[in-house]
Structure 1
Amino acid sequence: MKSLFSDDAVSEIRTRIELLQETQNPKWGKMNVSQMLAHCKFPLQVALGELALEKPNVFKRILFSMFKSSLYNDKPWKQNLPTTKEFVVSSDKNFNKGRTDLLEEIEKFHAKKEQTEWPPHPMFGEFTQEQWGQMQYKHLDHHLKQFGA
């Protein structure tokens, strides 16, 4: 699995984001491309400690633990998976600002590639540095594929 801590993977993701057009339609899902760009910032912000999520109850934590490895393994995510309420974007967003903001968050995350200590994810618990990088790449790749990029 590629990692957002890899220079090559960041370059690839950046190129794919820059190729997006405001009028692109999704292959699946409810978000338009501008909403997707805004949505993709949130997991990066969680990793960077910029966005706090509500911790789930014990039952949900147990349920989430069963799916934890799917966040960073090589198997593609299914289309139309549910997302946490804090990551839902339903209002209109500015495409150019969304693209710029997402690219900035990617750079901030990538700049921490030497960081070895990471805070636990509020829903899934502990991740290694490698798993954080893989998970962030996988999320971006999933949504870029959603828009054919």
Structure 2
Amino acid sequence: MKKSILHPNHRQELLDRVAKLQAGDQGHWGSMQVEEMLAHAREVAAAVLKSSKPEKKPNFKQLLGKYYFFYFRKEFPRMVKGPKRFDMKGKVSQDKFLEEKQGLIDTLQAFGSINHQLQGFHPFFGPLNHREWGILVWKHTDHHLRQFGV
């Protein structure tokens, strides 16, 4: 079974890893500071929680990318650029570490109490269903936690 933010044990694994983060932790790759990473991961997860039903159909490139990512790729790739709205570089001060850490914890915990099916349009993969969003959020959060060594 693929790990998913929707599975209680998988979600708890991520929460335990977030709890290990410390202010001033340095990333093993990329240029984000730990508080920027927390804000980024929180913003992405929060957007998934409130995404609406996709109106577009996937194109062929999106279908191929989605198939590869969900069925063959084990980890989220390093150094991938996401949408500008989720870029937190230089937008979060170091004194916001605890606030951002708690914000990510609260947002990840919210996946345990959703009462709707996740759906929405991903800019690279196209429309994703509930199961796919759960896997994607887990992989994305795992990617950033590995970035900071937890």
Q: TM-score, normalised by structure 2?
A: 0.81
SS at the partner of 1:118? coil
SS at the partner of 2:128? coil
Paired with 1:7 and 1:101, the residues of 2 have a C-alpha distance of: 18
Q: 1:99 aligns with which of 87, 101, 114?
A: 101
- Aligned runs of 1:25-36 on 2, under 5 Å? 25-36=26-37
| Structure 2 CA distance for partners of 1:79 and 1:130, relative to 1, 3 Å | same
Residue 75 of structure 2 corresponds to residue 76 of structure 1: yes
Aligned-residue RMSD, C-alpha: 2.6
Deviations 1:24-78 (A, max 9, x none): 100000101000000001221221227x9xxxxxxxx665444234554452122
| Structure 2 CA distance for partners of 1:13 and 1:122, relative to 1, 3 Å | closer
- Shifted more, 67-76 versus 31-40: the winner is 67-76
Paired with 1:35 and 1:63, the residues of 2 have a C-alpha distance of: 31
Is the 8 Å Cα contact of residues 4 and 136 (structure 1) preserved in structure 2? yes
Ranges in structure 1 where 5+ consecutive residues have no aligned partner: 53-60
Cα deviation for residue 82 of structure 1 reads 1.1
| Structure 2 CA distance for partners of 1:96 and 1:72, relative to 1, 3 Å | farther
What is the aligned residue count? 142
Is the 8 Å Cα contact of residues 119 and 130 (structure 2) preserved in structure 1? no
SS at the partner of 2:121? coil
Q: Percent identity?
A: 25
| Structure 2 CA distance for partners of 1:75 and 1:4, relative to 1, 3 Å | same
Paired with 1:42 and 1:71, the residues of 2 have a C-alpha distance of: 21
SS at the partner of 2:120? coil
Ranges in structure 2 where 5+ consecutive residues have no aligned partner: 53-58
Match of 2:118 in 1: 118
- Aligned runs of 1:10-89 on 2, under 5 Å? 10-49=11-50, 63-73=61-71, 74-89=73-88
